[in-house]
Amino acid sequence: MAKLAFLGLGNMGLAMAANLLKAGHTLTVYNRTAAKAAPLQAQGATVAATPAEAARGAEAVFTMVSDDAVLTELVTGPEGLLHGLAPNAVHISCSTVAPTTTTRLAEAHAAHGSEFVAAPVFGKPDAAASAKLWLGLAGPPAARAKVQPWLAPLGQGVHEFGDDPAAASVVKLCGNFMLGAAIEAMAEAFTLAEKSGVGRQPIYDFLVNTIFDCPVYHGYGRMIASKNYTPVGALPPIIRKDFRLVLDHAQQLATPMPLAQLVHNRMSTTVARGEDDVDWTAFARRVSEDAGLEA
């Protein structure tokens, strides 16, 4: 078993860290709000006061935080993990961040003598708790091989995307865009069915059990068909940030993404209305409202 550290104990990070403990690893954890570490401490984790303290002596450090600025501070700040991470230890970044941020962090680790891989995850907190996440992995070959045993307790599969860590960040942005596009498509289709007198539930039952038989359409489609946007997975402000990353990256590469802009606008409306107690799929309400139906 390995000596690991986990930094960032939101809904996703808390569940992922718990699975590392269940797998028998020795774990040190850190979170800006220290009280969130209490459940893991009760399970045997050590709680550190700073990222550097958490990283000291660890073979690998996982990070799972909300945005690029938080991750950068966690790594390179005055008390960042680089101040405690040993040479040849590896940082496993699971956060959804810009590819340029991933590249800068990889460069910082190279200068420090430590290793860095990006391993963003797909799945809601319940999937994290049941170790059913999907992970995309990119980084130097030796580092990718080293981290595989530590990623195994977190999910149902790891897919590799080469030597450049930024590639995994691109995959994460593409995946989130496709989720948003699927939600918009289902919202429009179900709204059209409702206004036509067919009904949302019948078309959902038919389509997700035939030509769209996959987890995304089953799970998110159920929420959209019923207009019930709980339980909450990712909060709207977080997904709005993710779609801003998609659009920024697309602009850098002169890649038009009008559907990504539409979903970003939908998320902006949700955030502006202060809807912070619903899953991000609640932007599907806008489609019903635009069609003159009650949300």
Please give the positions annotated as active site.
172
SS3 for 113-181 is CCEEEECCEECCHHHHHCCCEEEEEECCHHHHHHHHHHHHHHEEEEEECCCCHHHHHHHHHHHHHHHHH
The backbone torsions φ and ψ at residue 135, rounded to the nearest 5 degrees and listed phi first, read -125, 140
| Amino acid letter for position 105 | L
Smallest CA-to-CA distance from 93 within 79, 78, 109 is with 109
What is d(CA 203, CA 180) in angstroms, rounded to the nearest whole number?
20
Smallest CA-to-CA distance from 12 within 131, 181, 161, 98 is with 131
- CB of 47 within 8 A of CB of 9? no
- CB of 89 within 8 A of CB of 114? yes
Q: For tokens 């995946």, what's the residue?
A: 175
- CB of 172 within 8 A of CB of 197? no
Smallest CA-to-CA distance from 47 within 77, 27, 67, 21 is with 27
CA angle 79, 5, 20 (to 5 degrees): 160
